[in-house]
Amino acid sequence: MSSKAIGIFDSGVGGISVWKEIRNQLPYESTIYLSDSKHAPYGPKEQKAIIDLSIKNTQWLIDHGCKMIVVACNTATTNAIDQLRIKFSVPFIGIEPAIKPAALQSKTKKIGVLATEGTLSSNLFHKASELYLNDLYLVEQVGDGIVELIEQGKLYSNEMRNLLIKYLKPMIKAKIDCLVLGCTHYHFLKPILQELLPKYISVIDSPEAVAKRTKSVLQQCKLSNNKVLKGESQFYTNGDQAVIADLLESKNVTLKKIEF
């Protein structure tokens, strides 16, 4: 049993979608969230750079006393989690595009995947999606520019709407009936996607599954917090605090700016 915090990192504010689910499912656990907004987006970077940034983020969280790490970034998971597991001894949970649930749900067997270039070009993504490719047609789309707009606090902007219209058009034309959001930032697009997509297209992402997995790994590793006090949530960013504060919609957290 351990009252230490769960460490969560992302290239920016996207992983807050994962933190929210962890908070819901594990209210007695403390969390430390590290937002590396200064180096966002990770998506267009070389794999080596993504690995180096992921190691730096993990080291920071471990130095701040975390008992396990949730990689709340599809790009970092698909490019760096193997290296992180080799380098550090704490348990890791990663997030990946939810191809399996979409494959099970899809009737047209045509699925859209919106993700970063780093995720779509990774070996891990190829291996995971190959398992379903006999039976499934994937329409992959790199979401260039989306992370940048969210990091600038321009979620509900015309620029965002226009980008999404452009990215969704080929998917709708190809008759997808499921859209997988393969980047944690994209979770925050859901209200806009609801407006832009025909009703028969389901939007699927993974924060809930990641929180469920976090819970079960904590139990397996005997790392759950047995104190019945509510967990504390701390947020650290090397970017704009106002953008995080907006997405958090909560006053019961600590939010600090760091040089990192």
Rounded least distance, CB 150 to ligand DGL, Å: 9
Element at 256 (helix H, strand E): strand 254-257
Question: Is 73 among the residues known to form the active site?
Answer: yes
Contacts (CB under 6 A) with ligand DGL, residues 49-78: 73-75
Residue with Cβ nearer ligand DGL (129 or 224): 129
What span, in angstroms and rounded, lies between the C-alpha atoms of 37 and 45? 14
Number of residues that bind ligand DGL (CB under 6 A): 17
Q: Residue 191 pairs with which residues in a beta bridge?
A: none
- Using the rule CB under 6 A, which residue among 5, 10, 67, 176 binds ligand DGL? 10
For residues 45-80, one letter each, b for 16 or more C-beta atoms within 10 angstroms of the residue's C-beta and e for the rest, the string is bebeebbebbeebbebbbeeebbbbbbbbbbbbbbb
**How far apart are the C-alpha atoms of 235 and 200, rounded to whole Å?**
37
**Of residues 147, 197, 201, 223, which one binds ligand DGL by CB under 6 A?**
147
Question: Should residue 92 be labelled a site residue for ligand DGL when binding is judged by CB under 6 A?
Answer: no
Are 91 and 221 in contact by the 8 Å Cβ rule? The answer is yes
98 lines the binding site for ligand DGL (CB under 6 A): no
Burial class (CB in 10 A: 0-12, 13-18, 19+), 201: buried
Secondary structure of residue 240 in the 3-state scheme: coil
Report the residue from 9, 11, 21, 106 that binds ligand DGL according to the rule CB under 6 A: 11
- CA 122 to each of CA 43, 167, 201, 214: distance values in angstroms, whole numbers, following the listed order: 11, 20, 26, 23
Element (H, E) at 254: strand 254-257
Instruction: Return the residue of 125, 185, 236, 239 that touches ligand DGL, per CB under 6 A.
Output: 185
Which positions from 21 through 50 interact with ligand DGL, judged by CB under 6 A? Answer: 40-43
Residue window 113-132: x/- pattern of binding to ligand DGL, with contact defined by CB under 6 A: ---x--x-------------
Stretch that binds ligand DGL, among 86-94, 104-112, 165-173, 178-186 (CB under 6 A): 178-186
Closest CA to 209 of 54, 24, 81, 44: 24
Beta carbon of residue 138, minimum distance to ligand DGL (angstroms, whole number): 17
178 counts as catalytic: no
Nearer to ligand DGL, 93 or 223 (CB): 93
Q: Should residue 103 be labelled a site residue for ligand DGL when binding is judged by CB under 6 A?
A: no
> Tokens representing 107?
């009737």
- Residue 97 interacts with ligand DGL (CB under 6 A): yes or no: no
Q: Return residues touching ligand DGL (CB under 6 A).
A: 10-12, 14, 40-43, 73-75, 116, 119, 147, 183-185
Task: Tell me the catalytic residues.
Answer: 73, 183
